[in-house]
Structure 1
Amino acid sequence: MTDVHGSARDGYAREAKAYAHGRPDYPEGLLGWLGEALEISHGKQVADLGAGTGKFTALLLRSGAQVTAIEPVAAMREQLSAALPAVKVLNGTAQAIPLAAQSLDALTCAQAFHWFADERSLGEIHRVLRPGGHLGLVWNVRDERVDWVAEVTRIVERYEGSTPRFHTGEWRQAFAGARFEPLRLREFSHQHVGPPEQVIVARLLSVSFIAALPDERKHWVAEQLRELIASHPALKGRTEVAFPYRTEAYSTRALD
């Protein structure tokens, strides 16, 4: 796994269960977007790259497509196979996709592309797509216009370091000169509803650079999150909260 960033390799290996438990699913509107923007439908050949525990893979399956999940972290593949036993799961990276050239109608990356956004990865993605094949990039982004969500970010961002992140926008640079059409954006509102221990604490403990922390520091992060839950007026005393997200979905097509 030399092509996998250390924060992803170590953090996701240690906290795969927290990822499966704490991460939100995706808005229903994306199912229509898969068909409209990516032309994914029954029988199409699709790969979910950096599939993790299969959160997005499950949505892809509902399109009727033939879906292959590709994930380099063994602990994540185990969670995916347990949740979606009928899905073909392969060990692979964006720099070495274990599929034949021009074998896919579409490829998706959910919560993942920022990890491997470079010329080499886009070249590999282009290789496995058929001419005119579709690439979809999706992120659930915390809606920091809500004050307590902004406070959650402040608690965890001090540990971010040089970890690749969606919010920096640096991932866009990989498309300069790449053989893809300009990216098209669709936005969806989304909420992760559940107990605060799940949708706030477990969710943030699943962030790669938090999951990779020594146990003592990780415990300290969890305690700060619990203190926020216990004291903020919008969270205090609630057995269920709605964590707001803005889902950004980007689509493009491979050029010949």
Structure 2
Amino acid sequence: MEQEERHVHASSFGSAAVSYAAHRPDYARAAVEWALEPAPGPRVLDLGAGTGKLTATLVALGADVIAVEPDPAMLAELRRSLPAVHSLPGSAEAIPLPDASVDAVLAGNAMHWFDMALAGPEIARVLAPDGILAGLWNVLDDRVEWVAGLARVSGSAAVGPRDPPAGWRVETAHAHLPKTDVPARFGSPEQAEFPHGQRRTADSLAATLATRAGLLVMPEHDKQATLGRIRAFLASRAETAHGEFTLPMLTGVLRVRRL
């Protein structure tokens, strides 16, 4: 994805902030615990925090959380749902925190939007020695047959190459770590996956997929055609046609230590 196109996609979420807050999943608690396991202390920055999906789990785990989010509408939703959390406007490329002020930096479904040439040094700056940087991604578990079918009919705008397990492993292994301008600041990456799921209906799953960046920037006619295919597929499957079901997912984690 070109830089300009990535910016358009990354900045699209504010237009759907209320729907994002209502429909996007949280993160597997075990995944968040694993991400934080080596951190030297409780101070955690949720970077690109969105509406607070990851923030809420961090709070539940007892972390001392600061949330930073660049989009005003997304930040407003976070502040509405989590008014006690210290939240600030800012970006990964310009983090509004002092040097060595946090023990861990976590990013939920956000690190792929960062310009790591700028964000890498910024993250290293705010991390304490031995601090942890971890990206978390919720991905559809396409080892389940009907989920693989959903991915096929949805198209890349709704279910991109990163969204199944194999895709996130490949992309995070090579694309989203600090680049060669900061080679000594982070150690070797570790990856892990944790089972997760979200209770959905056919309508609410379609609403969830409608908050994906590829659909948010799509022309309205094409968006409605894509959502129509998704709804028709869900109506055709015994697993999803009637009432609530669990959408099988994994929470994937990429973790590195600041040296």
**Aligned mates of 1:197, 1:227 — CA distance in 2:** 11
Q: CA separation in 1, counterparts of 2:99 and 2:64?
A: 17
Supply the distance in 2 between the matched residues of 1:155 and 1:203 (Cα, whole angstroms). 15
Map 1:67-216 → 2, pairs under 5 A: 67-159=65-157, 165=162, 167=167, 169-171=170-172, 172-173=174-175, 174-177=177-180, 178=183, 179-198=185-204, 200-216=205-221
Question: In structure 2, what is the equivalent of residue 9 of structure 1?
Answer: 11
How much has 1:217 moved relative to structure 2? 2.2
The one-letter code sitting in structure 1 at the alignment partner of 2:188 is P
State the percentage of identical aligned residues.
Answer: 36
Gaps of 5+ in 1: none
Corresponding residue to 2:57 among 47, 56, 59: 59
Q: Which of 51-60 and 31-40 deviates more?
A: 31-40
Q: Secondary structure at the match of 1:95?
A: coil
Shift of residue 128, structure 1, vs aligned partner: 0.6
Does 1:251 find its partner at 2:255?
yes
Q: In 2, distance between residues paired with 1:64 and 1:28? A: 12
Distance in 2 of aligned mates of 1:232 and 1:26: 26
Compute the TM-score of the two structures, normalised by the length of structure 2: 0.86
Whether contact under 8 Å (2:140, 2:250) holds in the other structure is: yes
Report if aligned partners of 1:95, 1:120 keep a CA contact under 8 Å in 2.
Answer: yes
Does the 8 A contact of 2:35 with 2:255 survive in 1?
no
SS in 2 for 1:98: coil
Query: Contact 2:201–2:240 (CA<8 Å) still a contact in 1?
Result: no
Misfit runs of 4+, over 4 Å: 163-166
Output the aligned Cα RMSD: 2.4
Distance in 2 between the 1:152 and 1:38 partners?
Answer: 37
CA distance in structure 2 between the partners assigned to 1:104 and 1:142 by the alignment:
31
| Aligned counterpart, 1:241 | 245
Kindly report which structure 2 residues correspond to 1:221-232, keeping only aligned pairs within 5 A, or say none: 221-232=226-237
The Cα offsets for residues 49-107 of structure 1, whole Å up to 9 and x where unpaired, read as 01011000001112222211111111111111111011121111111111111111111
Relative to structure 1, the CA distance from residue 249 to residue 124 in structure 2 (aligned partners, 3 Å threshold; closer, same or farther) is same
**Maintained 8 Å contact 2:31/2:193:** no
Tell me the TM-score normalised to structure 1 length: 0.87
SS in 2 for 1:5: helix
- State the aligned residue count: 247
Which runs of 5 or more structure 2 residues have no equivalent in the other structure? none
Give, as a single letter, the amino acid of the residue that structure 1 aligns with 2:24: R
8 A contact 2:9–2:214 mirrored in 1: yes
How far the C-alpha of 1:115 sits from its partner, in A, is 0.9
